[in-house]
Chain A
């Protein structure tokens, strides 16, 4: 393909530059910013003509930091998202589940049943 004079051809871009550009663009797409803003930030970070993904990401990180768009860590810049409401603590203590001899249990059962059949109603 012939390019008009003054326009750069593919051969002007080194693989490292291409990798840097693609990395920055992918990160910007990952942030899902509004298109104009995303492209502006990408362009700003590429102004220093980084020659590797590492340099490009350093530049992008700086730009994003200035815009307050860096993914936050707990405690930093108050960016925590709380996924649950404030605690309102209470205590749950395991119930006593002691057993009684089966014969006692049986007689109690009969007594209870008799009471339920013939006892006073509420």
Chain B
């Protein structure tokens, strides 16, 4: 595709910018490392000192990158000068797609999700696309990898009802995969193999993603104008959560996110990262170049590539296509995990996926920027372990100062003793510069907001915006130690060979119970209490330095419960804190989403819940008919398999649906003839107790 001899102009600029980044990160890092080395008391072991300086240097460089990225973003947002802005391609165009062959498939991969939320999101995006000038250029695919038989049936029914209500047959499709090979990336690849050739582009969503029709049309227009682009990533805004931790994340995403996104665009240009959702991809090169192999070997760093998005973007770039971030495009939303525990569960998966990238760092043909992104991803979790090691070694060194006598004459033939010198102004300046790197970007995030509207109305006013930033800083300081020890645990357990399963992401504001919090955090609390006690007992003066860490760890159970409560989040919302523009002035798409979520449930004469999908597929004649009808090309299995299915039917009739395991239910749902037989026999059950198990008569004690 790309002419290899000639280099696109953005690569020249990108290389110069990255050289600049390297210089402005390395120079302060070297100075700080030198200061740190001189600050150490010279009485601990040389090994410990060297380790401390090495870890400090890595972490300082790491946070410097974030700082300079925010500064670069701020410059772009304030000057509004960016000759590489990809959205230039659609400036002045109306909201239509001229070429009828420029068809886009909107993919919504789902895995045991809340069906009501998925369909509400689908309906919202579908409505919004319909209002553009080119609705016929878009098709929608619900790509199900669901393993729960109840959810499977619910999905089918929801898809059918949606198509009937919106007259969307032939435009909105549903596909259930029998095997979940390669998880989400395999799900998308399966689409590409079956229908990819029919589409020029595909927009990949998450189950909770919403994108406006206008944004989708703009993305297609940019892709049409720039055939050198392989992937266009939008920066999705976090919305719709009520719990405190999620609202704080939403606020951070809105205030600091634009700076980071613009800054990342400044360094990365066409070497940006694909996040796996809320993005549009060119299908042909994706099919040709982006199929992921299994990593050979055993253990968690092998097998299916979990963080597939990083690798797909590296492969797309290797094939000569650019990956760009549309940092200034709005109308793209997602939802964040509602509680700390949900966030940590997600991080566990991401951690394993990112650590797998250590095996891909030296893959032939990958661009340096993508290798840097791999390192960045690895450090996202590896840095937690480094912080923990840094703090632990600091404590050990402080303790060793008390326990061991200082050596004033390390070399016998030395004339003068070496006296330990404490340079408080160095320590303060080092602490100050680290604090500046960490927290200044947060306050700088308010600048573009205030310049756009000095009253900051969409954030509750400038005073509230300021207090929200302060509180966000405080809360992230409280949460960081808890995240640190969990991320460290994830890194260690992954390296020790413990793999993760594929869990469903929680997407509601149910909160965390005390029991759940205790089960997740007891060991962290214990660690914090022991750490604080030992330090206080041996060296009380150091205790106060370590308090921010041990305090959070010791109280991690109540912190987890408190931050996961929707009532607390709503209290802050009422107080006008952590407000985001979507809460003050709801965009039309999110208003429609709310309406879609509150649509009344359809009529059913049966007494069981809509979530009891298997039961409904057996009993409800309409659901049964739909399900069996959707099982295309069913072939009867081997006699042994048929016999085992017959046994399941017998068991179901004798003991009711609750007696069946998830595997047995799935086996029946995959066998339409046996399901039909069960349907007929259940409706012919005479004995009241048996019929009551299937919801055909009220239970005996109720009817009598």
Contact = CB atoms under 8 A, between A and B. Distances in A.
- Please indicate which of the listed interface residues A30, A80, A98, A101 has the most CB atoms of chain B within 10 Å of its own CB: A30
A117 B164 CA distance: 57
Contacts of B684: 53-54, 57-58
Contact of A88 (B139, B195, B605, B606): B195
Given A73-B672, A92-B192, A84 B174 contact: yes
B84 interface: no
Contacts of B3: 122
A89 B293 contact: no
Contacts of A88: 194-198
A97 B360 contact: yes
A96 B672 CA distance: 41
B686 interface: yes
A52 interface: yes
Contact of A31 (B5, B364, B621, B688): B621
Interface string A39-50: 000000000000
- Please indicate which of the listed interface residues B12, B156, B691 has the most CB atoms of chain A within 10 Å of its own CB: B12
Given A74-B628, A90-B197, A23 B696 contact: yes
Given A30-B620, A53-B684, A121-B8, A72 B193 contact: no
B155 to A, nearest CB: 10
B8 A122 contact: yes
A92 B291 contact: yes
B629 A90 contact: no
A16 B249 CA distance: 61
A121 B174 contact: no
Contacts of A26: 605-606, 696
A102 interface: yes
B662 interface: no
Interface residues of A, number: 55
B433 to A, nearest CB: 29
Nearest to A99: B362
B522 interface: no
Interface stretch (B41-49, B60-68, B631-639): B631-639
Contact of B633 (A70, A72, A74): A74
B6 A120 contact: yes
Given A53-B683, A95-B291, A100-B362, A31 B629 contact: no
B290 interface: yes
B651 interface: no
B696 A101 contact: no
- Please indicate which of the listed interface residues A93, A115, A116 has the most CB atoms of chain B within 10 Å of its own CB: A116
B368 interface: yes
A80 B620 CA distance: 18
Nearest to A106: B362
Interface string A52-66: 111001100100000
A71 B624 contact: yes
Contact of B6 (A79, A81, A122): A122
A119 interface: yes
B606 A121 contact: no
A119 B315 CA distance: 23
Nearest to B290: A95
- Please indicate which of the listed interface residues A79, A97, A113 has the most CB atoms of chain B within 10 Å of its own CB: A97
A22 B686 CA distance: 12
Interface residues of B, number: 77
A79 B629 contact: yes
A32 interface: yes
A32 B625 CA distance: 13
B603 A99 contact: no
Contacts of B586: none
A32 B371 CA distance: 59
Interface of A is mostly: loop
Nearest to A29: B605
A58 B683 CA distance: 10
A80 B160 CA distance: 13
Interface string A8-35: 0000000010010011001101111000
Contacts of A89: 193-194, 197
B189 interface: yes
Contacts of B192: 90, 92
A116 B15 contact: yes
A82 interface: yes
A121 B159 contact: no
Given A116-B11, A117-B15, A122-B3, A81 B160 contact: yes
Interface string B663-704: 000000000110010011001111010010000110000000
A81 B626 contact: yes
A73 B620 contact: no
Nearest to B8: A122
B7 interface: yes
A83 B628 contact: no
Contacts of B139: 85
Given A52-B686, A92-B189, A95-B293, A109 B368 contact: yes
Contacts of A95: 289-293, 315
Interface string B162-192: 0000000010011100000000000001001
A25 B441 CA distance: 67
A5 interface: no
A84 B195 contact: yes
25 contacts: A16-B686, A23-B691, A30-B621, A32-B622, A53-B684, A71-B621, A71-B628, A72-B628, A73-B629, A74-B628, A74-B631, A80-B632, A83-B159, A88-B198, A90-B193, A90-B196, A90-B287, A94-B294, A95-B315, A116-B15, A120-B6, A121-B6, A122-B3, A122-B6, A122-B9
Given A90-B196, A101-B362, 11 more contacts: A23-B696, A26-B605, A30-B606, A83-B160, A88-B198, A90-B193, A92-B192, A98-B363, A115-B7, A116-B14, A121-B6
Interface of B: 3, 5-9, 11-12, 14-16, 19, 139, 141, 156, 159-160, 170, 173-175, 189, 192-198, 287, 289-294, 315, 359-364, 367-368, 371, 603-606, 619-622, 624-626, 628-634, 672-673, 676, 679-680, 683-686, 688, 691, 696-697
Give the top 6 A-B pairs by smallest Cβ distance, nearest first. A71-B625, A94-B293, A29-B605, A92-B291, A116-B15, A54-B684
